[in-house]
Amino acid sequence: MSATESSMDIARTAAKAASAKLADDIVAIDVSERLAITDIFLIASASNERQVNAIVDGIEEELAKEGLKPVRREGRSEGRWVLLDYATVVVHVQHEEDRVFYALDRLWKDCPAVDLQLPETPAAQESE
């Protein structure tokens, strides 16, 4: 069983909000085959604690417009790794150093990626 369409919609909305706040390396991983508790991990990073918190604020604001509130929020006070649990989607916003150290992308590399349908950034287009 793969992630539901509603989970993918939540992840895409959160990813667009993160992108609008200049999050780096935004990826979504379909963990529904491996975990019974959630469908998708959305992972984004930032270069400093202030930006981590700004990204989190942006995600919460956009999802609140759709009537969604996280059932749990962890790590907000430190601003290094904030976890927003929306039940079917768990959002991880990490400081770049923490993202490299904990390597969630690598831990879940066997799971399929979710197409977030984000527009390509100018930097990504230049590298092609």
Hey, where are the domains in the chain?
5-126
How confident is the model over 24-75, as pLDDT tens digits?
A: 999 999 999 999 899 999 999 999 999 999 999 999 999 999 999 999 999 9
CA-angle at 38, arms to 50 and 33, nearest 5°: 125
- How many angstroms separate the CA atoms of 22 and 70, rounded? 21
Phi, psi of 28, deg, nearest 5? -125, 135
pLDDT of residue 122: 45
CATH numeric code, 5-126: 3.30.460.10
Q: In whole angstroms, what is the distance from residue 128 CA to residue 67 CA?
A: 38
How do residues 8-25 score in pLDDT, each as one tens digit? 999 999 999 999 999 999
- Number of Cβ atoms within 10 Å of the Cβ of 82: 26
The sheet with strand 40-46 has its strands ordered as 24-30, 40-46, 89-95, 81-85, 72-74
